[in-house]
């Protein structure tokens, strides 16, 4: 080759770079020299790639050596090649795909500028087809759940699917194909990923006994999330913990039951939560948005080959927290919890909360989301109970927390290669060593369902999900295995043979209302989302027999609860998922009849409660619609106009709490001009006093807190008036801010970070006529009276 061509980076393909194991033709004369043919064969549509031996492992000739010699860069990120990779025909001959000007490696390396080359056609009609995601899609999680078909489902075939990862950045993984259907987990690297899917079936072998490989390619882009708060994962250890978990002797001998094994299993379970949730969000029309985890650079554990090779990767960080309680303290405490629930209920949750708070040390205004596992959970065979375990989820305004035990941990997969074996392992549970949780874990695969699924259920609670009428939040995780496998084994729980073919309709999932909550949850914020609204509160106003619902961030959906319903069966969605960024309507008008018409006939006459959710993640509950819209919510103002009460904030349940009501001077018979407002407060609001130009004043609440209160003057020369309030409220009224018609805001008097934030501004066409609420030792109820 001339030297100037060498300088341009051009060279011939060597035979070594294209060494492929092929099926011999009938004459047995096929050779690698066939690759020199530039002309396609007469029938290019009948091509297959027979490059894999029976063990389903890609040969070394398809890895880095092949890529370096079949895909070259010109230094600007573009390929200099102009030939397509050769394909092997059924008769052993080779060919190139016609009319193509790009050259690709068999693994499909993208160009250096991050753009993929033109798509490569599948090698045959039997090649795998991924149906759950389209080529070129963007995702935000490292482990992607996919599903698809091989061959013709009307003529089902069993076999195996091997996934070859981008630039060999992750070891090849094999997945079963049942009745031509497959499900698989794909490891992704940040940026573009070129994946190859190879299907092999024993029924498709050639006359000389070699297996035929049918291949297809797909491009997936992975963009890691960094702008959303992470879901933290923790393992909690007693002060004197042996750092082991329950396992049968065979398991201990095979994989161990120490802390390192527990971390690997917990990490893999968390990856399954993420892959499962992203797929569920996609099916509900919200894209593959999902929570993220904190990561750290360490030896990889998602593949067993990483431990052997010492491959370093960014892996999910599992925080290990040592408690100030002993193993006996934890197990005795939980034993008391089970036998004396009214006395010790939730003590393990409190221990975990204190440990997490001390470990992370959240700063003011920072909110943490943490899911924990007690490693010292133990199956006590003598009394037939699991000790040191509690399944709970919830938290406060600073830390949202879920806790679970390690009693099913032995059944979890440790690596991605173990996912299918773990969910198909029929080994019976030996209750001499491990628990049969709720008598639903009679075999290893069922124990994996209960352990991984129930912990995900509690994590759903920390993310704001209540119990639902179906799905993960109603213990539907007993079918979790069907999401990751195509065939189900015998079930000891149902005493029946499992599902022969597990399709999407056979799987469990998150309830639609769960996915709506996730859509607006901070942990699920996607890079394409607009900036999260600072105001998430909702106001409900009773006006002329109807109810107005206002939310600055938009109304997302409303849940209806006729008397007797403990979970939601009926709801109304306002958010348009097909118009991202548009949010929901800022004003919704509700009538009692319109809501009752959405209920079954037998429930329409029952008292009706409802709960409103905003696109900013806020919610507001109304206990009785009829009472809110009744005459009790309407008063007659001194000037003769009707006044309408808003929903009230605060509990109004403090000792000595009494109802109070104050009408502003603008609604008096002789209108008064307000001169200034004085707020009495300490770390909560004691009272508010309105002063008028004629020297009179009106007090709501009492004069307490800091002597003299805090004064906020109004500019009477510009006719400045009060148009609303910003509250910090919870059980009582923590803080208040005054909003004026001149666009001014006072400081937040009282506790500026206490409770939750609510902005009270009347709907368009209405103004503030007064204030109502209640006062005990300080204000514990606050609402507005509005008028036209």
Residue scoring higher pLDDT (665 or 461): 461
pTM for the whole thing?
0.81
Query: In terms of pLDDT, which residue wins out, 536 or 85?
Result: 536
pLDDT (mean) for 742-758:
90
**Domains in the chain, CATH or no CATH each:** 13-222 (2.60.40.10), 231-519 (no CATH), 532-629 (2.60.40), 636-787 (2.100.10.30)
116-126: pLDDT as tens digits: 556 667 778 88
Cα three-residue angle 733-701-536, rounded to 5 degrees: 25
Q: How many helices (H) and strands (E) does the chain have?
A: 14, 40
Taking only the tens place, the pLDDT of each residue in 485-494 is 999 999 999 9
Q: Are strands 173-178 and 159-164 parallel, antiparallel or unpaired?
A: antiparallel
- In 463-571, which residue ranges form alpha helices assigned H by DSSP? 481-484, 512-519
Q: How far apart are CA 661 and CA 645, in angstroms?
A: 11
**3-class SS of residue 668:** coil
Given a cut of 70, whether residue 75 has pLDDT beyond it is no
- In the predicted structure, residue 214 carries a pLDDT above the cut 70: yes
User: Rounded to whole angstroms, how far apart are CA atoms 157 and 181?
Assistant: 8
Q: Which two tokens stand for residue 665?
A: 């001077």
Type and span of the H or E element at 770? strand 767-775
The CA–CA distances, whole Å, from 670 to 509, 665, 666, 718 equal 62, 8, 8, 20
Which is nearest to 771 in space by CA: 624, 608, 649, 591? 649
The band of 364, judged by pLDDT with boundaries at 50, 70 and 90, is: confident
**Beta strand ranges found along 633-764 (DSSP E):** 634-636, 642-645, 658-663, 674-681, 685-692, 697-701, 710-713, 722-729, 733-740, 749-750, 756-760
Length of the chain: 788
Tokens representing residue 755 in the block:
């409770």
Whether 357 contacts 236, CB under 8 Å = no
116 vs 625: which has the higher pLDDT: 625
Q: Which two tokens stand for residue 212?
A: 């035929």
Say yes or no to pLDDT of 170 above 90: yes
Mean pLDDT of 243-247: 96
Q: Give me the phi and psi of 281, to 5 degrees please.
A: -65, -40
Q: How much is the average pLDDT of 347-362?
A: 94
- Rounded (10°) CA dihedral 497, 502, 508, 510: 170
Q: Which of 679, 685, 664 is nearest to 782 (CA)?
A: 685
Q: What is the pLDDT of residue 119?
A: 64
pLDDT at 739 over 70: yes
CA–CA gap between residue 69 and residue 323 (Å, rounded): 56
Q: Decide if 489 contacts 445 (C-beta within 8 A).
A: yes
How confident is residue 19, by pLDDT bands cut at 50, 70 and 90? Answer: very low
Say if residue 9 is exposed, middle or buried (CB neighbours under 10 Å; 0-12, 13-18, 19+): exposed
- What span, in angstroms and rounded, lies between the C-alpha atoms of 471 and 569? 13
- The torsion angles phi and psi of 674, rounded to 5 degrees, stand at -75, 135
Residue 332 has pLDDT above 90, yes or no: no
Burial of 615 (C-beta count, 10 Å sphere; 0-12/13-18/19+): buried
Q: Which one from 417, 458, 488, 507 is the annotated catalytic residue?
A: 458
> What is the DSSP-derived secondary structure letter of residue 501?
S
Q: How many Å apart are CA 293 and CA 272, to the nearest integer? A: 12
**pLDDT-derived band at 481, boundaries 50, 70, 90:** very high
Mean pLDDT of the chain: 82
Between CA 455 and CA 451 the distance in angstroms is: 6
Distance CA(678)–CA(776), nearest Å, equals: 19
Give the per-residue pLDDT at 597.
93
Least confident of 48-52, 203-207, 751-755: 48-52
Each as own residue / partner, the long-range contacts of residues 428-435 (CB below 8 Å, 24 or more positions apart, any chain) are: 428/492, 430/248, 431/379, 431/381, 432/381, 433/246, 433/247, 433/248, 433/249, 433/379, 434/246, 434/247, 434/248, 434/379, 434/407, 434/408, 434/410, 435/246, 435/379, 435/386, 435/407, 435/408
pLDDT for 393-424, tens place per residue? 999 889 999 999 999 999 999 999 999 999 99
The answer, yes or no, to whether residue 27 has pLDDT greater than 50, is no
Mean pLDDT confidence for 451-474: 96
Give, in degrees to the nearest 5, the angle at Cα 350 between 345 and 352: 125
Q: For position 202, what pLDDT does the model report?
A: 86
Position 636 scores a pLDDT of 86
CA–CA distance, 532 with 524 (Å, rounded to integer): 11
Confidence band for 86, pLDDT divided at 50, 70 and 90:
very low
Structure tokens at 782: 């606050």
Q: How far apart are CA 254 and CA 752, in angstroms?
A: 56
Q: Are 268 and 414 in contact (CB under 8 A)?
A: yes
Give just the sign of the alpha carbon dihedral 374, 375, 380, 384.
positive
As a whole number, mean pLDDT of residues 760-785 equals: 92
Summarize pLDDT for 538-562 with one digit per residue, the tens.
Answer: 888 888 778 899 998 899 999 999 9
Based on the residue annotation, tell me whether 458 is a catalytic residue of this protein: yes
R_g over Cα of the chain:
33
Element (H, E) at 4: helix 3-7
- pLDDT above 90 (res 305): yes
Q: Are 119 and 97 in contact (CB under 8 A)?
A: no
Across 183-187, 674-678, 691-695, 778-782, least confident range: 691-695
- d(C-alpha 581, C-alpha 528), whole Å: 9
Residue % of the chain over a pLDDT of 70: 82
CA angle 450/452/454 to nearest 5° reads: 55
DSSP result, 536-557: --EEEEEETTEEEEEETT-EEE
pLDDT of residue 781: 94
Contact 544, 586 (CB under 8 A): no
Q: Cβ atoms within 10 A of the Cβ of 497, count?
A: 10
* Element housing 715 (H / E): none
In the predicted structure, residue 226 carries a pLDDT above the cut 50: yes
Residues 200/175, Cβ–Cβ less than 8 Å: no
Cα–Cα distance for residue pair 618/521, rounded to 1 Å: 10
Total Cβ atoms within 10 A of residue 632: 12
Cross-strand bridge partners of residue 681? 685
Lowest-pLDDT range of 7-11, 84-88, 450-454, 676-680: 84-88
For 114, phi and psi rounded to 5 degrees?
90, 0
Residue 64 has pLDDT above 50, yes or no: no
Query: Which residues sit opposite 48 in a β-bridge?
Result: 88
Residues 477 and 508 sit within 8 Å (Cβ to Cβ): yes
| Beta bridge partner(s), residue 314 | 297
Is the pLDDT at 637 greater than 90? The verdict is: no
Alpha helices in 284-392 (DSSP H): 304-309, 327-339, 341-344, 347-360
> What are the DSSP calls for 282-306, one per residue?
HHTTSTT----B-EEEEE--SSHHH
At a CB cut-off of 8 Å and minimum separation 6, what does 308 contact?
none
What is the CA 290 to chain-centroid distance, rounded?
4
């Amino acid at each position: 080759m001339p030297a100037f061509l060498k300088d341009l980076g051009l060279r011939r393909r060597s035979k070594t770079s294209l060494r492929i194991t092929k099926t011999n033709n009938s004459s047995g004369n096929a050779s690698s020299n066939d690759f020199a043919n530039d002309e396609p064969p007469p029938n290019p549509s009948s091509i297959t790639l027979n490059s894999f031996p029976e063990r389903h492992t890609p040969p070394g000739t398809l890895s880095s050596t092949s890529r370096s010699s079949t895909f070259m860069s010109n230094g600007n990120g573009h390929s200099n090649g102009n030939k397509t990779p050769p394909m092997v025909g059924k008769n052993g001959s080779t060919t190139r795909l016609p009319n193509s000007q790009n050259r690709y490696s068999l693994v499909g390396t993208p160009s250096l500028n991050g753009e993929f080359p033109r798509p490569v056609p599948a090698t045959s009609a039997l090649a795998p087809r991924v149906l759950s995601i389209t080529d070129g899609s963007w995702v935000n999680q490292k482990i992607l759940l996919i599903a698809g078909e091989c061959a013709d489902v009307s003529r089902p075939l069993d076999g195996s699917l091997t996934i070859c990862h981008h630039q060999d950045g992750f070891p090849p993984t094999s997945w079963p194909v049942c009745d031509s259907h497959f499900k698989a987990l794909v490891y992704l690297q940040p940026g573009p990923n070129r994946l190859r899917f190879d299907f092999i079936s024993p029924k498709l072998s050639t006359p000389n006994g070699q297996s035929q490989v049918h291949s297809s390619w797909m491009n997936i882009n992975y963009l890691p999330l960094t702008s959303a708060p992470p879901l933290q994962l923790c393992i909690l250890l007693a002060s004197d913990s042996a750092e082991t978990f329950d396992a049968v002797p065979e398991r201990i001998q095979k994989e161990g039951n120490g802390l390192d094994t527990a971390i690997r299993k917990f990490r893999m379970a968390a990856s399954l939560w993420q892959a499962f949730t992203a797929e569920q969000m996609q099916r509900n029309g919200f894209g593959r948005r999902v929570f993220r985890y904190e990561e750290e650079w360490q030896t990889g554990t998602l593949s067993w080959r990483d431990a052997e090779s010492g491959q370093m990767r960014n892996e999910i960080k599992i925080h290990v927290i040592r408690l100030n309680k002993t193993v006996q303290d934890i197990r005795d405490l939980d034993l008391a919890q089970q036998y004396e629930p009214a006395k010790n209920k939730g003590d393990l949750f409190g221990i975990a909360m204190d440990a997490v708070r001390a470990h992370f040390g959240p700063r003011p205004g920072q909110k943490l989301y943490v899911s924990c596992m007690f490693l010292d959970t133990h199956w006590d065979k003598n009394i037939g109970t699991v000790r040191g375990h509690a399944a709970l989820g919830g938290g406060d305004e600073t830390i949202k927390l879920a806790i679970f035990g390690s009693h099913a941990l032995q059944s979890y997969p440790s690596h991605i290669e173990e996912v299918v074996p773990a969910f198909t392992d029929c080994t019976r549970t030996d209750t001499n060593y491990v628990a049969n949780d709720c008598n639903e874990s009679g075999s290893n695969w069922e124990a994996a369902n209960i352990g991984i699924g129930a912990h995900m259920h509690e994590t759903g609670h920390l993310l704001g999900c209540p119990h639902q009428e179906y799905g993960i939040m109603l213990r539907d995780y007993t079918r979790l295995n069907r999401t990751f496998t195509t065939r189900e084994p015998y079930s000891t729980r149902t005493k029946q043979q499992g599902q022969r073919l597990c399709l999407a309709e056979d799987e469990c999932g998150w309830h639609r209302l769960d996915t709506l909550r996730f859509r607006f949850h901070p942990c699920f914020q996607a890079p394409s989302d607009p900036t999260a609204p600072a105001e998430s509160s909702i106001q409900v106003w009773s006006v002329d027999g109807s109810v107005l619902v206002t939310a600055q961030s938009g109304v997302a959906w409303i849940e209806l609860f006729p008397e007797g319903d403990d979970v939601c069966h009926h709801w109304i969605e306002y958010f348009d998922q097909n118009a991202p960024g548009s949010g929901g309507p800022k004003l919704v008008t509700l009538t009692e009849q319109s809501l009752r018409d959405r209920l079954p006939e037998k429930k329409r006459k029952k008292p009706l409660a409802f709960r409103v959710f905003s696109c900013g993640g806020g919610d507001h509950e109304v206990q009785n619609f009829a009472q809110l819209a009744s005459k009790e919510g309407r008063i007659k103002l001194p000037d003769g106009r009707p006044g309408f009460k808003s929903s009230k904030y605060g509990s109004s349940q403090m000792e000595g709490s009494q109802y109070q009501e104050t009408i502003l001077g603008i609604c008096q018979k002789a209108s008064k001009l307000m001169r200034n407002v004085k707020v009495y407060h300490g770390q909560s609001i004691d009272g508010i006093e309105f002063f008028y130009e004629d020297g009179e004043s009106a007090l709501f609440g009492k004069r307490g807190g800091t002597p003299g209160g805090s004064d906020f003057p109004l500019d009477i020369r510009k006719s400045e008036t009060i148009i609303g309030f910003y509250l910090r409220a919870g059980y009582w009224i923590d803080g208040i801010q005054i909003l004026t018609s001149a666009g001014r805001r006072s400081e937040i008097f009282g506790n500026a970070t206490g409770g939750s934030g609510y902005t009270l501004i009347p709907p368009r066409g209405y103004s503030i006529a007064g204030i109502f609420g209640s006062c005990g030792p300080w204000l514990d109820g606050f609402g507005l009276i509005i008028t036209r």
